[in-house]
Amino acid sequence: MSAAFDADPAQVVLRIATTLVADPHRVLDWYHGDGIASLGGFTAAQLVAAGHVAGVLAFLHGVLAAEDGAGGAG
């Protein structure tokens, strides 16, 4: 089994989130405190705990794609 499948889902989400926001305290605040409107208003922590890691990852990848698109437009 590869290391990617052995990783803690919360750590994977947090690692990806740090590519968007470098400050680890802000990332943890987001993870535990900010609801994701497109995912029912639940926090990433709640979603990961409920087994909805794929939804959180899709959300983060969408944000990353939007960031890439915005960066290329300027």
| The residue to which tokens 């609801």 are assigned | 35
Reported confidence tier of residue 35, pLDDT bands at 50, 70, 90: very high
Contact 48, 13 (CB under 8 A): yes
d(CA 41, CA 26): 18
Quote the pTM value.
0.83
What tens digit of pLDDT does each residue of 43-73 get? 999 999 999 999 999 999 999 999 988 765 5
Comparing CA positions, the residue from 19, 20, 7, 21 lying closest to residue 53 is: 7
